[in-house]
Structure 1
Amino acid sequence: MPASPAFCAIDFGTSNSAIAIPGPQGMQLVELEPGRRTMPTAVFYQVEGLQPHEAPQRLYGRQALAAYVQGHEGRLMRSMKSILGSSLAQQSTDVGEGRSVRYLDVVSGYLQRLKAQAEARAGQPIARAVLGRPVYFVDGDPVRDAQAQQALEDAAREVGFAALSFQYEPIAAALDHEQRVQREELVLVADIGGGTSDFSLVRVGPQRRQRLARKDDILASHGVHIAGTDFDRHVELAAILPLCGYRGLGPARAGSTPREVPSRVYLDLATWHLINTVYAPQRLAELRRMRDFYGDPAQHQRLMRVVEHQLGHALLGQAEAAKIAVAEGGSTAIDLGALEAGLACGLDEHQAVQALDADLGRIVQAARETVQMAGLGADAVDVVYFTGGSTGFKPLTERIAAAFPTAQALHGDRDASVAQGLGVHAQRLFA
């Protein structure tokens, strides 16, 4: 009898993605980039120097982000998952030099990249897959929600997955945890990534493990579009950009109170996808003319250094690194020598929490509302299970845990819990 086709589990995430295949010790995540088991969900269509008959070169993951940051001509596509429930999925978009690509082809191309890397690792073709999906692709619209799953299925079949199954992402995270539980539990899954903070209240237990259909075990789901990239933005605005004039004052003049420097350029510099707009020649000329707006000329000089040398993405990266360093060690120093010799600033936990206070409060409130939507009180939660890259920020997880004082706070693999849980489901389904 011929061997069954190989199978895999795919966590196609808004910010990052992963793929798992069977290994000697169960399902294992494939290394998608050197030393990394996850890859940014990003595709860059590079159109520089193309001949009329040539198709754009496609770059993926960190290579895609690097090409965009370095200013190569082309189009960066991120958050492709968000278009699945919209009419855009079947539409085309311009990627430069008169070339266009269908949005759904962007998704299928990215899935093809994941599949090819998994097949290279497995040493054989892979025709069966479990794909993760949110509880709701589209809130409050079951027709569009079904269309979104169908669009993802179409993209997956287009690249050669003949047998497909879907599993809810919060169930996947709960499955990862469920492998270790000894009794039935009510688990609040807190999945906090780069773009969203999602919560689901899920029943798990030894008697439920072998059930393939688990949607009824999701008692409630809720979330907010606030997460890691918002944290980075606020850290940069609080710690780094004031040295470049953010919330700085203009010159003192007799009989009048100094005005605050216009803030738009700083808000754009702290927003990943808007940074390149600041480098446009017209914008650059406008910023040069604003020198007299600044009471401290050094602030304007530093700002011009940022925009003339296109340091915006590097500064936002330093803000992210500072956030991580504070999460791990309590305080850090940020070297800003690229702006001015010897320039630096500090960030400690108190400053970070102060900068992020409103966002943290909204995330905690979303966690509370999830449990309330199930008609239960905080004391009904047995476990709060943290997953997602932003759960490494200790002040956030501590606040969420404090909202459920009788629950045990547990941390899964920040980057891989959903993919590992999807792998558990794939083994039960296909193995």
Structure 2
Amino acid sequence: MAGSPPAVPDACGIDFGTSNSTAGCALAGTPGQVALLALEEGKLTLPSVVFFHAGDAHISYGRAALADYLAGDEGRLMRSMKSLLGTALINEQTEVAGRALPFRALLAQFIGELKRRAEHAAGRGFTRAVLGRPVFFVDADAAADRQAQDTLSEIARAVGFTDIAFQYEPIAAAFDYEMQITREELVLVVDIGGGTSDFALVRLAPERVGMADRRDDILASGGVHIGGTDFDKSLSLASVMPLLGLGSLLRSGLQMPSALYFSLATWHTINFAYTKKAWAQIGELLLEAQERDKLARLQRLVSERAGHWLAMQVEEAKISLSGAPQAVLDLGRIDPGETRVLQRADFDAAIGGLVGSVERSITELLRDAGVAADAVDTVFFTGGASSVPLLRAQVASLLPRARRVEGDLFGSIGTGLALDALRKFA
């Protein structure tokens, strides 16, 4: 009908993140404009967390899931589910409330809930979506990388999306930044998320906003499978797990087996430490340990299923150390009154190798693109882990003349995906 407002597309952008997820879409009545949707308690992010309650069939998500777990509710907490994509674990299953749950079904439950919440917030259904993806789900394995995207596509279709496109997450962030600029810029996007570090070298300009085909503007993209959860893991292994016996000796003089500690320090494998086999192993090690007090702490941690709680303490310390020279780690749940002071230098030492890998990946990206460091106008940071001081310092040393801009650390990718959905599906 003449004079009727244009239909709002039934398309959205979905950023399914390792730590946090977002969804965005076009706004009714404002052509060309998009916004992120409130997914939980008025907040624009939904932590990528699921809690299965033991006593009934109730499942909680996001902040509510974390609150239920921390309140001591009986059940199973699952986090960093995106890290399963591209691994052999995605085709396996875990036990939840006495029944077997395939990991694919776990991801489908969370992404389905993300879709439902987005539709509720927008007041309309979504059948089409642009999904974000890291440049590499899996490093140096093209077949596994393709399988990871195919798996995510299958899951998205299973929850009700019929038309699906993918966009590299750093390029989506570039589209968000492009809405702010007033002149052409050569931009290096540095996206350090929960599970991966992704980069894109993109030529942006106000007059290019809205163009559907941007292939000529993307000079290079790359990434490495290192993110904020890896920083958590390294800090935990260096400064926390030794308090539970990592690196200590058995009476035989051999070193304590490390596999259990690596499981506890890695978000998506923490639940492996709660198996009967693991519990039996801890009991045997306690009898053989030279420092039995440390193994007693480990035993209390596992008996209380407090592995995720400890990982949260480490994550909070990491965040604190990104803005302060030291942080106090509370270990009271496994050793009453016990604390540990962590220094920024401890954190830097723990993650130095990881940051070095990120630095090398950026150097290779510039070399492959044939672009000199001095030619880059702006470094645009996004992703929660991009605020780590050592990482920012290393990037600044690589590109000393580039302007440094911080985007919405948790929202730039989702906004860019929504913009891309508007262009692709409008």
Q: Tell me the residue number matched to 2:368.
A: 373
8 Å contact from structure 1 (residues 184, 204) kept in 2:
yes
Residue by residue, what CA displacement relative to the aligned partner does 1:30-67 show, whole Å, maximum 9, x if unpaired?
A: 22223532224455677x678xxxxx766544566788
- Once the two structures are TM-superposed, the CA of residue 27 in structure 1 deviates from its matched residue by 2.3
Q: Tell me the residue number matched to 1:119.
A: 119
Normalising by structure 2, report the TM-score: 0.82
Q: Tell me the residue number matched to 2:336.
A: 341
8 Å contact from structure 1 (residues 189, 201) kept in 2:
yes
- Once the two structures are TM-superposed, the CA of residue 188 in structure 1 deviates from its matched residue by 1.1
Counterparts in 2 of 1:2-81, with a 5 A limit?
4=7, 5-23=9-27, 26-41=33-48, 59-61=60-62, 72=75, 78-79=81-82
Counterparts in 2 of 1:197-346, with a 5 A limit?
197-249=197-249, 260-291=255-286, 293-346=288-341
Question: Greater Rg, structure 1 or structure 2?
Answer: 1
Q: Tell me the residue number matched to 2:85.
A: 82
8 Å contact from structure 1 (residues 248, 260) kept in 2:
yes
Instruction: Return the structure number with greater relative CO, CA threshold 8 A, min gap 6.
Output: 2
Rounded Cα–Cα distance in structure 1 between residues aligned with 2:344 and 2:271:
30
Q: Tell me the residue number matched to 2:177.
A: 177
8 Å contact from structure 2 (residues 49, 78) kept in 1:
no
Rounded Cα–Cα distance in structure 1 between residues aligned with 2:63 and 2:21:
12
Q: Which moved more, 1:364-373 or 1:287-296?
A: 287-296
Q: Which moved more, 1:168-177 or 1:68-77?
A: 68-77
Rounded Cα–Cα distance in structure 2 between residues aligned with 1:152 and 1:226:
20
8 Å contact from structure 1 (residues 171, 214) kept in 2:
no
Residues 262 and 122 of structure 1: CA distance in aligned 2, closer, same or farther (over 3 Å): closer
Residue by residue, what CA displacement relative to the aligned partner does 1:150-208 show, whole Å, maximum 9, x if unpaired?
A: 66556545545455554432221111111122222221111111111111111111232
8 Å contact from structure 1 (residues 250, 293) kept in 2:
yes
Residue by residue, what CA displacement relative to the aligned partner does 1:79-104 show, whole Å, maximum 9, x if unpaired?
A: 27825xx9999x7857666766693x
Residue by residue, what CA displacement relative to the aligned partner does 1:267-319 show, whole Å, maximum 9, x if unpaired?
A: 33212233333333343333233345444443233233222323222111111
Residues 382 and 112 of structure 1: CA distance in aligned 2, closer, same or farther (over 3 Å): same
Normalising by structure 1, report the TM-score: 0.81
| Partner SS state of residue 130, structure 1 | strand
- Once the two structures are TM-superposed, the CA of residue 322 in structure 1 deviates from its matched residue by 0.6
Residues 213 and 144 of structure 1: CA distance in aligned 2, closer, same or farther (over 3 Å): farther
Q: Tell me the residue number matched to 2:383.
A: 388
Rounded Cα–Cα distance in structure 2 between residues aligned with 1:129 and 1:389:
23
Residue by residue, what CA displacement relative to the aligned partner does 1:333-388 show, whole Å, maximum 9, x if unpaired?
A: 11222233332111111111011111111111111111111122222222111111
Runs of at least 5 residues in structure 1 that lack an aligned partner in the other structure: 51-55
Q: Which amino acid is 2:35 matched to?
A: Q
Q: Tell me the residue number matched to 1:53.
A: none
| Partner SS state of residue 246, structure 2 | coil
8 Å contact from structure 1 (residues 80, 106) kept in 2:
no
Residues 345 and 147 of structure 1: CA distance in aligned 2, closer, same or farther (over 3 Å): closer
Runs of at least 5 residues in structure 2 that lack an aligned partner in the other structure: none
| Partner SS state of residue 187, structure 2 | strand
8 Å contact from structure 2 (residues 135, 198) kept in 1:
no
Residues 261 and 77 of structure 1: CA distance in aligned 2, closer, same or farther (over 3 Å): closer
| Partner SS state of residue 329, structure 1 | coil
| Partner SS state of residue 414, structure 1 | coil
